[in-house]
Amino acid sequence: MSRTMSRLALSLCAAALLTASLASCGSDLLNLDQNWTLTTVRDSTLPYTVPNSAHDGVIISGVADLSSDNTYTTTFTGTVDGSAGQVGQDHGNWSVTSSIFTFHSSTGVDYIAALVGSTFRGSVPGQFVGSTDADFDMLFTKQ
């Protein structure tokens, strides 16, 4: 009987630790609805020249605005063919499970990002910045 009680106590301790760790993540998750600034593209600092595009695009800055109603807008600004303007954009709905974001674009494309502390790293489809490349690794930091 004591062996069964030890297993039960160990199971309860494990469940308590898991609950505590999830609760601590939950408080961080409540603060996701804000602006995130693009920091790097493919581990390169900005400005970033977009390859394989019909126009000469250079990303100078980017912002991902996540709202508490689980909608988002991502905007990339810079130059297109030498003129200042919007290089690309996307919008849709977002969700997060554990530390993985899923972005459901209004274009019908889904993509993911990993939340790590005050940053998230996403695999953003190339079509959002006018490229034929499948995706771009982008790092965003909380503002």
pLDDT for position 7: 41
Query: Does residue 15 sit in the same domain as residue 42?
Result: no
Contacts 24+ apart (CB under 8 A), 95-104: 95/70, 96/29, 96/32, 98/25, 99/25, 103/72
Query: Does residue 39 sit in the same domain as residue 23?
Result: no
pLDDT at residue 4 tops 70 = no
The whole domain housing 50 covers 35-142
Query: Does residue 20 sit in the same domain as residue 54?
Result: no
The residue that leads in pLDDT, 140 or 24, is: 140
pLDDT at residue 26 tops 50 = no
Q: Shortest CA distance to 138 belongs to which of 101, 86, 104, 98?
A: 101
CATH number at residue 125: 2.40.128
Query: Does residue 17 sit in the same domain as residue 45?
Result: no
Place 104 in a pLDDT band, splitting at 50, 70 and 90.
very high
Query: Does residue 76 sit in the same domain as residue 95?
Result: yes
pLDDT at residue 2 tops 80 = no
Q: What is the pTM for the complete model shown?
A: 0.77
Measured at the CA of 28, the angle between CA 22 and CA 29, to 5 degrees, comes to 80
